[in-house]
Amino acid sequence: MSTKALTIGIAAVLVIGIAIIALTSGGHGDSESAQDTDGAFITEMTPHHESAIEMADVALREAEHPETKQLARDISSTQAEEIDELEAIHKDLFGVPVSQGAHGTLGMEAHEMGMEGEANALAGEEPFDRAFIDMMVPHHQGAIRMARVELQSGEDGRLMDLAVKIIDAQSREIEEMNAWREEWYGSPSPAGGVPAEEDAPSHEMMGH
């Protein structure tokens, strides 16, 4: 083989090697970032669900309308099951319970997640059902935004399936609550309805 041919061959190998390294590094970075999203989704959705269950427990004691009580039962049952699912997935992905997870955030403020109100603030409110709706609607809106971040930037198929379930169920419940509020009190929740598709932080806005 001539010196020229050998030089060309070495150059080609180097180019291919550099390309492989670049592709591998880029893929690893994307995967690592997606796993960050998965972890943040689990560790932020778990307490979000827990707070919804606390609100539902108050509604089961104090709600006037049977529709509100049934919704509270549905929220408690569904979201307790989802917490168990989140815990199992976190243990599988990261090897530790959710309480020991060390992840970033989904890049959302408390008000964007509907986490500004506390369940104990509901106790004794009158009319109770209106207060419950006005607190639960923005809470549901927050869960939908969080789930959309997982769909946009996560990678675990189980979490993405769960995100779809959350969006579907909580969108339907927002519509139900607003219909009830309009019927019972003359207007829907001031928080509005199902958040728009673009109403979610981008992957670049997330903090890790």
The answer to whether 134 and 178 are in contact (CB under 8 A) is no
> What DSSP string runs through 124-141?
T-SSHHHHHHHHHHHHHH
Sole residue written with tokens 């019972």 = 184
Q: What's the average model confidence in pLDDT over 101-121? A: 88
Model pLDDT for residues 35-86, shown as the tens digit of each residue? 999 999 999 999 999 999 999 999 999 999 999 999 999 999 999 999 999 9
Model pLDDT, residue 208: 45
Model pLDDT for residues 142-173, shown as the tens digit of each residue? 999 999 999 999 999 999 999 999 999 999 99
- Scored b (16 or more CB within 10 A) or e, 70-87 reads ebbeebbebbeebbebbe
Residue 157 in domain: yes
Whole-angstrom CA distances from 9 to 1, 18, 19, 20, 188 are 10, 14, 16, 17, 71
Please list the helix, strand and coil fractions of the chain in percent, rounded to the nearest 5, in that order: 75, 0, 25
CA angle 8, 11, 13 (to 5 degrees): 110
Question: pLDDT above 90 covers what percent of the chain?
Answer: 72
Which tokens in the block code for residue 207? Answer: 């903090």
Model pLDDT, residue 27: 35
Residue 155 in domain: yes
Q: Could you tell me the CATH number of the domain that includes residue 183?
A: 1.20.1260.10
The answer to whether 149 and 206 are in contact (CB under 8 A) is yes
Model pLDDT, residue 69: 98
Residue 60 lies in domain: 31-205
- The contacts of residue 97 (CB under 8 Å, 6+ apart) are 87, 90, 91
The answer to whether 145 and 195 are in contact (CB under 8 A) is yes
Q: What domain count does the chain have?
A: 1
Residue 11 in domain: no
Model pLDDT, residue 8: 43
Interatomic CA distance for residues 48 and 44, integer angstroms: 6
The answer to whether 86 and 98 are in contact (CB under 8 A) is yes
Residue 126 in domain: yes
pTM equals 0.81
Residue 7 in domain: no
Residue 14 in domain: no
Residue 175: in which H helix or E strand, if any?
helix 157-185
Residue 17 in domain: no
Which candidate, 54, 73, 36, places its Cα nearest to that of 159? 36
Residue 127 in domain: yes
The answer to whether 68 and 55 are in contact (CB under 8 A) is no
